[in-house]
């Protein structure tokens, strides 16, 4: 492990005005996305769709890297160039999702723990050979009556830290993602408390497992009310609450933080990121690692006419990347 190389990669992932596009949907998840727009879920359609996203002209102006799925990192463009090589040749960093999904946490009803540590070292070594230079592991923290429990938070933090240590041993930057889920009727104060407890536990676990923070990226959820909450909050309140929570929990030595969109609309996720960066005087760069908020409009266009709308769909991807790149600088205008 080279700490210098890990730090260099982590810094490049959050370069000014750039963020990460998440195209790491599992085969089951992409099936749902495709079904919603009438596209058959075949391997070739998945490959073609990922190619549309990754080969968007000038994408590297605002995108520093992409999180890929196991199938995708083994695929190539129609011209036979492996996706990871295409990305590297075009100034973008290939990443890979490595967790095996969230499963019921024994003894803790309605709570989940992410699995996938068994055999992870060998998988990471293979992904490095395939061209990946960072990885992602997502934990799921639900808010509800009497949850999350301390057991759930600590179990997921421990798994994230073990994963992160293995990543760094294999030369990959770990992206740690403890997602506090937006579903529910909880208010913004409850989300703040749960997010704060989750991040405190995570960074304690990373310290215990000797993870080098200079070579680590946090993928965070924003502090926001649940979808079924009656409370109305404005963009500034979400931004201020999120930044305050991060400042109280995340060490300043971390190279950067990227946000997931987590059920927000395209415009909401951009507006919130922009408002945070307009606050100024932040210890770390705040950027994005959006999936649906980067892709959904393009997918709908492409689905209507796979060949005829190809360029128009790519233009939409570029525009979303540009808007979020500006938001990462606090320069986006509605």
> What residues act catalytically?
177, 219
Give the angle subtended at the CA of 38 by the CAs of 34 and 41, to the nearest 5°.
45
**Whole-number Cα distances in Å, 177 to 8, 77, 87, 132, 295:** 20, 29, 23, 18, 20
**Whole-number Cα distances in Å, 75 to 22, 52, 81:** 16, 13, 8
CB count within 10 Å of CB 45 equals 14
Distance from chain centroid for Cα 182: 15
Tokens of 206: 């990373």
The dihedrals phi and psi of 69, each to the nearest 5 degrees, come to -100, 160
Q: Is residue 224 a contact partner of residue 261, using CB atoms and an 8 Å limit? A: no
Regarding beta strands 257-259 and 112-114, do their DSSP bridges make them parallel or antiparallel, or are they unpaired?
unpaired
How long, in residues, is the chain?
334
For 12, residues 6+ apart whose C-beta sits below 8 A from its C-beta are 64, 65, 93
**What residues are paired with 177 via a beta bridge?**
138
In DSSP notation, 305-317 reads -TTTTHHHHHHHH
Q: In angstroms, rounded to a whole number, what is the distance separating the alpha carbons of residues 296 and 173?
A: 27
């Amino acid at each position: 492990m080279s700490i210098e190389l890990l730090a260099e990669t982590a810094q490049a992932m959050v370069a000014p005005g750039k963020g990460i596009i998440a195209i790491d949907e599992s085969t089951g998840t992409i099936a749902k996305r495709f079904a919603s727009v009438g596209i058959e879920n075949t391997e070739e359609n998945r490959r073609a769709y990922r190619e549309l996203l990754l080969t968007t002209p000038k994408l590297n102006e605002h995108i520093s890297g992409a999180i890929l799925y196991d199938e995708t990192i083994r695929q190539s463009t129609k011209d036979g160039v492996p996706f990871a090589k295409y990305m590297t040749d075009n100034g973008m960093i290939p990443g890979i999702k490595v967790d095996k999904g969230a499963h019921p946490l024994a003894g803790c009803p309605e709570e989940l723990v992410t699995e996938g540590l068994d055999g992870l070292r060998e998988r990471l070594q293979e992904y490095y050979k395939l061209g990946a230079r960072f990885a992602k592991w997502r934990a799921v923290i639900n808010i509800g009556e009497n949850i999350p429990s301390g057991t759930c938070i600590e179990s997921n933090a421990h798994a994230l830290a073990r994963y992160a240590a293995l990543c760094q041993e294999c030369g990959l930057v770990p992206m740690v993602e403890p997602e506090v889920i937006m579903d529910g009727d909880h208010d913004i104060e409850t989300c703040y408390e749960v997010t704060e407890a989750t991040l405190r536990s995570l960074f304690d676990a990373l310290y215990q497992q000797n993870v080098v923070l200079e070579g680590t990226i946090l993928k965070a959820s924003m502090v926001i009310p649940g979808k079924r909450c009656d409370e109305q909050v404005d963009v500034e309140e979400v931004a201020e609450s999120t930044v305050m929570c991060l400042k109280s929990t995340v060490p300043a030595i971390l190279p950067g933080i990227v946000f997931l969109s987590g059920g927000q609309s395209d415009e909401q996720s951009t507006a919130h990121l922009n408002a945070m960066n307009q606050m100024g005087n932040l210890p770390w760069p705040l950027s994005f690692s959006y999936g649906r908020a980067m892709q959904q409009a393009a997918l709908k266009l492409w689905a209507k006419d796979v060949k005829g709308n190809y360029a128009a769909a790519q233009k939409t991807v570029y525009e979303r990347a540009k808007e979020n790149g500006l938001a990462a600088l606090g320069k986006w205008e509605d």
